[in-house]
């Protein structure tokens, strides 16, 4: 990579067409930096919002209650192999089963 | 990279699990896409409804859902989930329908499932456990 002074000296010697190209490159680079900075601010704002949203999410519930609710959320399936699940049917009259 | 968050990731984040939160923040900083899909919404919301957690339900939809990407299941995902169910069942194993739908979506998007649930390891999908440092 060349140093800044060498770059500036080179630009001073460029013909007008080449200067226009350099100008376009500089504009594009400046715009990219602006967008990059805006994107980073968006990301930081999003993370801050996520932290704020969860900081007091469970307010009003005890740890035991939260354990129960999150267990309900994560419960996966009822094992159909449980032989007692429909045992109550055996107590019904045959024509009502 | 696209990351599909399982319900246990949401519950960890809602309880400010430090390692899971750090992983989540790092992925956002890296520009990765974090997805909360319908089956996960369903599991979260059912727990909140059962406990009459109305404020939490409101916070979930108003303050959390908009900050993640939402991807809907397609007909193809349901078909793929059915194929996964048959494959897993033929091997004598069980997977929940929700897990199968997440796996189908992950396969379509070429995404990584984030979950502490090792059941996903029976399926042909990539998984990360953010509880691990």
Q: Which of B25, B43, B56 sits opposite A57 (nearest CB)?
A: B56
Q: What is the phi/psi pair of residue B123, to 5°?
A: -115, 155
Pairing label, strands B112-114, B2-5:
parallel
Q: Which of residues 30-69 of A touch B (CB under 8 A)?
A: 43, 46-47, 49-55, 57-61, 65-66, 68-69
How many residues can be counted in chain A? 97
- Residue A3 located in a structural domain: no
- Residue A71 located in a structural domain: yes
Is the separation of the CB atoms in B93 and B122 below 8 Å? yes
* Domains: count for chain A: 1
Q: What is the pTM of this model?
A: 0.78
Which long-range contacts (C-beta less than 8 Å, at least 24 apart) are formed by B75-80? B76/B104, B76/B108, B77/B101, B77/B104, B77/B105, B77/B108, B78/B104, B79/B104, B80/B104, B80/B107, B80/B108
Q: Which residues of chain B have pLDDT under 70?
A: none
- Beta carbons of A59 and B96 less than 8 Å apart: no
- Residue A13 located in a structural domain: no
Q: Which residue of B has its CA nearest to A46?
A: B67
pLDDT at A91: 80
Chain segment B50-75, per-residue pLDDT in tens: 999 999 999 999 999 999 999 999 99
pLDDT in tens, chain A (97 residues): 789 999 999 999 999 899 889 988 888 888 888 877 777 779 999 999 999 999 999 999 999 999 999 999 999 864 555 666 667 777 888 777 6
Sequence-separated (6 or more) residues with CB below 8 Å from residue B108: B74, B76, B77, B80
- Residue A8 located in a structural domain: no
User: How big is the A-B interface in CB pairs under 8 Å?
Assistant: 74
- Within 8 A of A61 by CB-CB distance, chain B residues are 51, 53, 56
- Beta carbons of B44 and A73 less than 8 Å apart: yes
Q: How many CB atoms lie within 10 A of CB B107?
A: 20
pLDDT at A80: 55
pLDDT at A81: 57
- Residue A78 located in a structural domain: yes
Burial annotation B65-80 (CB, 10 A radius, 16+ → b, else e): eeebeebebeeebeeb
- Residue A10 located in a structural domain: no
Burial annotation B9-27 (CB, 10 A radius, 16+ → b, else e): bbbbbbbebeebbebbbeb
Domain that holds residue A86: 20-96
Distance from CA of B60 to the nearest CA of A (A): 8
ipTM over 0.95: no
- Residue A53 located in a structural domain: yes
pLDDT at A62: 96
* Measured distance CA(B66)–CA(B60) in Å, rounded: 9
- Residue A2 located in a structural domain: no
pLDDT at B133: 85
- Within 8 A of B47 by CB-CB distance, chain A residues are 69-70, 72-73
């Amino acid at each position: 990579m060349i140093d800044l002074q060498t770059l500036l000296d080179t630009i001073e010697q460029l013909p007008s067409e080449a200067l226009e190209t350099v100008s376009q490159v500089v504009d594009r680079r400046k715009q990219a930096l602006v967008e990059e900075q805006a994107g980073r601010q968006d990301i930081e704002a999003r993370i801050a919002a996520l932290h704020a949203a969860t900081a007091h999410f469970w307010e009003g519930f005890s740890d035991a209650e939260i354990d129960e609710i999150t267990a309900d959320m994560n419960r996966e399936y009822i094992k159909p192999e449980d032989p007692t699940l429909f045992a109550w049917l055996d107590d019904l009259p045959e024509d009502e089963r | 990279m696209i990351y599909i968050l399982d319900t246990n990731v949401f519950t960890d984040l809602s309880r400010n699990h430090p390692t899971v939160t750090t992983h989540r923040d790092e992925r956002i900083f890296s520009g990765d896409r974090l997805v909360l899909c319908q089956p996960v919404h369903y599991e979260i919301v059912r727990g909140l409804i059962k406990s009459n957690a109305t404020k939490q339900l409101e916070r979930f939809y108003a303050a959390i859902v908009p900050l993640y990407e939402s991807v809907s299941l397609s007909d193809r995902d349901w078909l793929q989930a059915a194929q996964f169910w048959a494959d897993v069942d033929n091997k004598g194993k069980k997977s929940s329908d929700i897990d199968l739908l997440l796996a189908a979506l992950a396969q379509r998007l070429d995404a990584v499932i984030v979950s502490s649930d090792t059941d996903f390891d029976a399926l042909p999908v990539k998984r990360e456990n953010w509880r691990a440092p």
